[in-house]
A and B are shown apart, each in its own frame.
Chain A
Amino acid sequence: MAGLLQHLINGLAEGTIYALVALGYTMVYGVLKLINFAHGDVMMVGAYVGYAAAFVLGDGALGSLWGAVLVFLVSILFCGLLGWLVERFAYRPLREKPRLTALITAIGISFTLSYGFQLKVQPEIAGKKVTLLPGADPRTFPEIITPAEWVTLHVPAPAPAPDEVDPAAPHDAADDFVEIIIWNWQVISFVIALALMGGLQVLVFRTKFGRAMRAVSHDHRVAALLGIPVDRVIALTFMLGSALAACAGILYAIKDTLIQPMLGVQLGLKAFVAAVIGGIGNVQGAVLGAVALALCEELVVGYASSSWRDAVAFGFLIVVLLLRPQGLLGRVQAEKV
């Protein structure tokens, strides 16, 4: 019971972060029919920019609300800009080219970012050593939220086996319960992720821009005939996905405390799998797929072995694709000619 509860909490925390990244994959696929393999790396960049922002703000800002908000904002803006640059200069010129060209470009950008961030760039500016890129070693992410226990749950402990009980020992009431701590940062992360997903849901399904985005996603030529500026909609979609990835990067860094340049490749792949499981191109599907995947992983790690973790992700993917090739919430769509 206690174990299960703990796994559910962990799974949800992980799942909401997967979801924020998966949303970026799915939105970009929606408007461009392109798997943006660089998306996970944008998330990694988001974590590093958050790291740099916290570093520049200094210890005084750590744990304060404005400090945390600034860290998020700087990272969102930076990644938004990065997403815009990638779309504008890498993908847009290839839009009418065979899809494979853009796919290879995406992988190239992914490599450039994930390996580029392994370089150590520390030029001396005005006599001071300034770190621009910190190198391949993992870095400890500053505590922008001071950890505190939010609630402590006392869950009945499993009864010990009779032969383990020493009848002579006095009964200790503390042994009847297991403590499960829910930390403040877990709650804050969860709320931020939910708020972002809720906001995105409203944007996509309740606003004019969202309508335009869904129209472009279905047929950009017809969308243009209605006066929709397709290029701008695609650029904004990229920026939006990148901003979500920035948030995911920071939330991940808060949770895991360590960041390193390959972070985006690993987490990005999981999030991509989640998006495909949910039905690529489908916004609710991405969230569902992400949470389902994370829970699945967490349960397998908890009850089987942690070395199965990655196998689960792909096993789950294969099972879903066999049973529902379009993903959990995806629609079957005739290939357009």
Chain B
Amino acid sequence: MPETLGTREVKPPLLGVSGVEVRYGAIQALRGVSLSVGQGDVVALIGANGAGKTSTLRAVSGMLKPTAGTVQLAGQDITGQPAHTLVGKGMAHAPEGRGIFPNLTVLENLELGAYLRSDKAGIAQDLERMYGFFPVLRERQAQLAGTLSGGEQQMLAISRALMSRPKLLLLDEPSLGLAPQVTQTIFRILREVNAQGVSILLVEQNAHLALGLAHWAYVLETGAIVMEGTGQALLASDDVRKAYLGE
């Protein structure tokens, strides 16, 4: 059992991951990961390089089939279901490395985020919402996405994921390689998105930022959860400070 710090506010469950194992050939990347995200939660998953954070998100969003364990979304078992069927069930995953389409325009990237939707008015409204979050995307909407800076690409990746109107947003290291100011902007928007009712499962190496935003957080070490707690409690923990905050 992982060590638990602080008490968790009880919320209706949105995502439940239980005993999930993932292998890449001979390498076992996850050895029984269990975690949950409640409705309206921001849950952070922190851990060192190679701990299995990305693998966890992949197992949740259907990019990988777990070799054991179950994944539930809003009470429905979705274990091993292909990724493209989960978007319609309210999941959006902004993958590691952003995954924008460089030879499509910014607008085309955003429109692809709404691929499964047919409510034109709603899509136009959401597009405006994204441009409201990140005005630079409006300026660059006709530009090829490959010409954007790293920060702008991350904004695009998040916006594109939000265009499907997800209940649950999976984010893989949105701060990676970005200037502190850009990171701050992105985290401010994430807070706002969450306030509007979107639950977030956030993977971060920048533990400071992630724990500051998260209601609940998990610490992953070599494929297993070793500690969990409120963001504040983990921030205050000596172990976490030493291992992940460089103090």
Residues of A within 8 A of B (CB): 208, 211-212, 214-215, 218-219, 221-230, 331
- Of B82, B84, B108, which is within 8 A of A211 by CB? B108
A-B contact pairs, 9 of them (CB 8 A): A208-B115, A211-B108, A214-B103, A215-B101, A219-B99, A225-B61, A225-B99, A227-B116, A228-B115
Residue of A nearest to B61 (CB): A225
Chain A residues near B167: list those with CB within 8 A: none
> Does B88 sit within 8 A of A, measured CB to CB?
yes
Residue ID in chain A nearest B116 by CB atoms: A227
B112 contact from A221, A228, A230, A331, Cβ within 8 A: A228
A208 / chain B contacts, CB cutoff of 8 Å? 111, 115
B63 within 8 A of A: yes
A168 to B223, CA, bound (A): 102
Q: Which among A215, A221, A225, A230 has the highest number of chain B CB atoms within 10 Å?
A: A225
Which of A208, A222, A226 counts the most chain B CB atoms within 10 A?
A226
> Which residues from B are CB-within-8-Å of A222?
95, 99, 101
CB closest chain-A residue, reference B89: A227
Question: Across the interface, do A331 and B99 meet the contact criterion of CB distance under 8 Å?
Answer: no
A227 and B113 alpha carbons, distance in the complex (Å): 8
| Set of chain A residues within 8 Å of B193, measured between Cβ atoms | none
Query: Which residues on the A side are within 8 Å of B104 (C-beta)?
Result: 211, 214-215, 218
In the complex, are the beta carbons of B84 and A214 less than 8 A apart?
no
Most buried by A among B82, B84, B108: B84
Q: A221–B104 Cα gap in the complex (Å)? A: 16
- Contact present for B112 and A226 (CB under 8 Å): yes
A227 / chain B contacts, CB cutoff of 8 Å:
84, 87-88, 115-116, 164
| B113-A226 in contact (CB<8A) | yes
What's the Cα separation between A218 and B99 when bound, in Å? 9
Q: How distant is the Cα of A214 from the Cα of B109 in the complex, in angstroms?
A: 11
Docked complex Cα distance between A224 and B92 (Å): 11
Which of A218, A225, A331 interacts with B83 by CB under 8 Å?
Answer: A225
Instruction: Tell whether B215 is near chain A: CB-to-CB under 8 Å.
Output: no
Using Cβ atoms and an 8 Å threshold, which residues of chain A touch B115?
208, 212, 226-228
A212 to B114, CA, bound (A): 11
Given contacts A212-B112, A215-B112, contact A224 B103 (CB under 8 A): no
Closest to A210 in B: B108
Q: Pick from A218, A221, A228, A229: contact of B102, CB below 8 A.
A: A218
> A214's closest neighbor in chain B, by CB?
B104
- Expressed in whole angstroms, the Cα–Cα distance for A212 and B115 within the complex equals 8
Partner of B164, one of A215, A226, A230: A226
Q: Give every chain A residue within 8 A of B53 (Cβ-Cβ).
A: none
CA distance A218 to B164 in the complex (A): 20
If A226-B87, A226-B115 are given as contacts, then 11 extra A-B residue pairs at C-beta distance below 8 Å, sorted by A number, are A208-B115, A211-B104, A211-B112, A214-B104, A215-B104, A218-B104, A221-B99, A223-B112, A225-B84, A227-B88, A230-B84
B103 CB contacts on chain A under 8 angstroms: 214, 218, 331
Bound together, the chains give a CA A225 to CA B99 distance in angstroms of 10
Q: Separation in Å of the A87 CB from the closest CB of chain B?
A: 18
**Residue among A208, A222, A228 having the largest count of chain B Cβ atoms under 10 Å:** A222
- Interface mask (B40-84 → A, CB under 8 Å = 1, otherwise 0): 000000000000000000000111000000000000000000111
Smallest CB separation, A38 vs chain B (Å): 27
Shortest C-beta distance, A216 to chain B (Å), equals: 10
Q: How far is the CB of A224 from chain B (nearest CB, A)?
A: 4
Using A211-B108, A215-B104, A218-B102 as known contacts, say yes or no to A225 and B95 having CB atoms under 8 A apart.
yes
Known: A212-B115, A215-B101. A228 touches B84 (CB 8 A): yes
Chain A residue contacts of B84, Cβ below 8 A: 223-230
Contacts of A229 in B (CB 8 A): 84
* A211, B84: Cα distance in complex, Å: 16
CB distance from B86 to the nearest CB of A (A): 8
A225 to chain B: which residues have CB within 8 Å? 61, 63, 83-84, 87, 92-93, 95, 99
